[in-house]
Structure 1
Amino acid sequence: MGFHEVRFPASLSFGSVGGPERHTDVVTLANGHEERNTPWAHSRRRYDAGVAMRGLDDIETLIAFFEARQAQLHGFRWKDWSDYKSGPALAEPAYHDQIIAIGDDVTASFPLIKAYRSGEQIYRRPITKPVAGTVRIGLSGDEQQEGVHYEVDTTTGIITFAHPPNEGLEITAGFEFDVPVRFDTDRIQTSVASFQAGDMPNVPVVEIRV
């Protein structure tokens, strides 16, 4: 299985339908109570790229992209327009958006994460496909300079400092990111007549672990 570091055309993913999916095993006991468990530590996102097609040129672009990925064989980047920033949707990423780690004088590399908070509960999502040129890093309130203080691996989401951050220093980050996905089908069926009549093709896309 391969992964192509190329983004599905963002203009075509805009307007697509999709979002996070969880897998929960629910067992109802004899007394009516439930036991719930999940084998998934992280959610998985699904999208339908077909609903965003607006013209025959879009269909041509979609088919070319599909063929270049050889259908389900190769993964690619996807911009989830509803969730692609480390901070507020209408704000530019800031170096203090997310706390990703605390320095220990030893560790120099840290993965990017995005925290989702609701009440007292927090889910920390690994970010493996940050967008080049958007990652900003801070150490205890001081912004650092990429290429001088740290490097970013945009294929893994790993931040590597030139020197391990001192113990107790808060490491923060801001960024834009893509979702690693693949097509969830080996065929695309299109018809010029049906497309002009408003019948959009079904093009399922699913998140993958990388």
Structure 2
Amino acid sequence: MAFHEIRFPASLSFGSVGGPERRTEIVALTNGYEERRTPWAHSRRRYDAGLGLRSLDDVAALIAFFEARAGQMHGFRWKDWADYKSCIPSAEVTFQDQEIGIGDGMQREFALCKAYASGVGRYRRPVVKPVEGTVRAGVGHVEKREGVDFEVDTATGIITFAAPPEADAVVTAGFEFDVPVRFDADRIAVSVASFQAGELPQVPVVEVRP
């Protein structure tokens, strides 16, 4: 996949509309019951970048970014202002926000993830685009130091420890993260008159699988 490790201007994504999408196949049975299943293990995010535009300068920045990505050709990072931390939005990131694995004395690499829980339901979302400088990690309730005890690949979301966590030790992490996306159209239609009248262009953006 062609991917540019650059974030869509956060000032433009602020105010956009979007969120997770699921695909559910529903079969209605003759007895009135339903069978439901999903072919997707993970949800997919969709956004409209047009709703964050506030001036013609914003439009110019959007067009420049669109052209530099060659439309749908190259993916990029997107800040989802409603969901960009390992903790709740009002809290500060800590190294104990998310459990990402259990040590076995041999494994050194662990993938970042974020858990979503409600009642008996629980979903673990892979996090593949952490924000540089925001990742904190710990082993057995003791915080480790980035650059000394562990390294982070911000292009894949993999943490590599200098020494493998001991057996049965809980490995945790906290972080900010972006969503890997691409434009979902190969054209942007903007009318200056319409924009000044309050009509915003539709600029669909869709999450890409890592």
Q: The TM-score by the shorter chain falls in which range?
A: over 0.9
Structure 2 equivalent of residue 202 of structure 1: 202
Structure 2 equivalent of residue 33 of structure 1: 33
The CA deviation string for residues 23-59 of structure 1, in whole angstroms up to 9 with x for no partner, is 0000000001000010100000000000110000000
Matches within 5 A, 1:145-160: 145-160=145-160
Matches within 5 A, 1:134-149: 134-149=134-149
TM-score between both structures, scaled by the size of structure 1? 0.99
Alignment of 1:186 with 2:186, yes or no, is: yes
Alignment of 1:61 with 2:99, yes or no, is: no
Look up the SS of the partner of 1:164 in the other structure.
coil
Deviation at 1:106, TM superposition (A): 1.1
Structure 1 equivalent of residue 96 of structure 2: 96
Structure 2 equivalent of residue 170 of structure 1: 170
Distance in 1 between the 2:57 and 2:69 partners?
A: 19
Structure 1 equivalent of residue 70 of structure 2: 70
Alignment of 1:86 with 2:73, yes or no, is: no
Distance in 2 between the 1:165 and 1:90 partners?
A: 31
Deviation at 1:115, TM superposition (A): 0.1
Q: Which amino acid aligns with 1:129?
A: K
Deviation at 1:88, TM superposition (A): 1.4
Distance in 1 between the 2:181 and 2:92 partners?
A: 24
Q: Percent identity?
A: 67
How many residues of Structure 1 are paired with residues of Structure 2 in the alignment? 210
Unmatched segments (≥5 aa) in structure 1: none
The CA deviation string for residues 172-210 of structure 1, in whole angstroms up to 9 with x for no partner, is 000000000000000000011000000000000000012
Distance in 1 between the 2:149 and 2:163 partners?
A: 8
Deviation at 1:90, TM superposition (A): 1.1
CA RMSD of aligned residues (A): 0.5
Distance in 2 between the 1:30 and 1:73 partners?
A: 45
The CA deviation string for residues 139-187 of structure 1, in whole angstroms up to 9 with x for no partner, is 1111000011100000000000011110000000000000000000000
Distance in 2 between the 1:209 and 1:88 partners?
A: 24
Task: Give every structure 1 segment of 4 or more consecutive aligned residues whose post-TM-superposition deviation is greater than 2 Å.
Answer: none
Deviation at 1:121, TM superposition (A): 1.5
Distance in 2 between the 1:106 and 1:33 partners?
A: 49
Distance in 2 between the 1:27 and 1:120 partners?
A: 24
Distance in 1 between the 2:127 and 2:29 partners?
A: 38
Look up the SS of the partner of 1:105 in the other structure.
coil
Q: Which amino acid aligns with 2:196?
A: Q
Unmatched segments (≥5 aa) in structure 2: none
The CA deviation string for residues 11-32 of structure 1, in whole angstroms up to 9 with x for no partner, is 0000000000000000000001
TM-score between both structures, scaled by the size of structure 2? 0.99
Alignment of 1:45 with 2:52, yes or no, is: no
